[in-house]
Structures are given as structure tokens and as C-alpha cells.
Amino acid sequence: MGQTQDRGSEDIVVLAPQAAEAAAFFDSLGLGYQHAFEGRKTSQIQAAERLMSRLDPGARVLDVGCGTGLPTAGQLSEGGMDVTGIDVSEGLLAHARRQVPGARFVRADLFDQELDIGPFDAVVSFYSLVDLTADMFIAALERLRDLTVTGGTLLVAVSERRTDDEVRFMDTSYRPALCRREDLGDWARQAGLWVDELNICPEQGAEGQPETGLYLWARRFRDSPPSRSEPGQGAMADR
């Protein structure tokens, strides 16, 4: 888990080993990460636009894994939202602060139990919950839930992974953990979320390969998982 140590006037974020490894990787990519996806974020941009239509002006929104701030933090900030972005990569955050001066950006690990921000009216996570086992994914959703006000919206997008075949990403490759559409709603319910809908969208990966994006819309409404028999749970739609 990450933690912040106060040394005089300087806050030093200490990251867990996995987060530190990810931070070093994305630091090395810099703006190359942003450029790799330019023109390939249509569904993400549309989802953020739809989210803003549901929120009041000035609503507090957290962008988890905000990267360079574009497109999402910038889009939300320009739309009149009060935006905070978090990421483990200080290199990407430096670009975010320059590109989206109207938002606040904090270096932080989502799994840091001492992370003192929020709660937020909405929390978004676009493709930042990567290669997590089912238990870790549920734990991540619980953290997102805890950062959201009661009744607030969570919007989480992930790439569907039905096999552990190698995935190419930014001149490297890895074998992903499974993440299937039929599991995602169950994981959200186990995390104590009310599932509004799951949208299935065609996407393009960083190498231009076709992928399937899963867009989970959920709400925090209490701390215990809702029953599967309750209405409104698990609507699925192709978009």
C-alpha cells in the first residue's frame, strides 16, 4: 500500500512495489502514452459527456488513473466540474498539471488506506484497473465506492479479457488477468454497488488492435452488497 511521509514541507509518496513498477513504466512513456491513444477514445469521451449530463455544475469528480489529464480530466474541467485526478506516475501528472490547469492532480495509490481525499459526487476510472485478479478488482471497486458520496456515480471502463493470451501494449506485452462481461456486474455487487448498466463498446488498443471496452455504470447507496434479486441490477447493452 502507498503512504505519504511528511518530511518538513515536502510530501513524499511511498508506493507499494507493484504501483512503483507501474509508475516507473508510465514515467518512461510520458506524452507517448497520450499520443498512442489519440483518436481512439470516442467511447470514453462519450461516456464522460453522458456523466456530466447527470451532474450539477461544480460537482466534485475524481479521475482515477488520470494519466496526462487528457481527454477525461480536461473534458470534465471544461464542462464545469470540480476535478481531482490521481495517478501513481509523477511524470504523467506533470503533463496533466500543464495541460489541465483548472484541475487538481495528486500523486497517489488507490490502495493507500490513508489516502485523504473526497468524498466525490462521481468517480471515474477509465482503463486504470489493469491486470487485477478478481479479488483485487473487487477491492479496487470497494476503494472507489468509499471515495464516492452515498448516491454518487461510479463509471469504470476496462478492456474485456476472455483469455490470458498475450496483449501488446506500447512496444511490450503481458498476459492479462481475466475480465469478462458476465463477471463484472457480480464483482460490482460484491463491492456493495448498485449496478445501473453495463455498456459494451468496440475499442482500439494502443497498437491499433480491436478490443472490447466494458463500461460499468454503478452507484454507491449503502455499505452492504445489494441482493441479486433486487430490480435494476445488471442491465447490459451494446453501444
Domains of the chain, residue spans: 3-238
Around 110, how many Cα atoms within 13 Å sit in the side-chain half-sphere? 28
C-alpha cell at 154: 461510479
Any idea which of 36-40, 46-50, 108-112 has the lowest mean pLDDT? 36-40
**pTM of the shown model:** 0.85
Average pLDDT, the chain: 86
User: Does the domain made of 3-238 have the CATH classification 3.90.1150.10?
Assistant: no
**CA distances for 138 relative to 42, 129, 190, angstroms:** 27, 10, 7
Categorize the per-residue pLDDT at 221 as very low, low, confident or very high, splitting at 50, 70 and 90: confident
The reported pLDDT for the residue numbered 98 is: 98
The reported pLDDT for the residue numbered 229 is: 45
pLDDT at 13 over 70: no
The reported pLDDT for the residue numbered 226 is: 54
**CA distances for 216 relative to 7, 8, 126, 167, angstroms:** 40, 42, 10, 22
pLDDT at 7 over 90: no
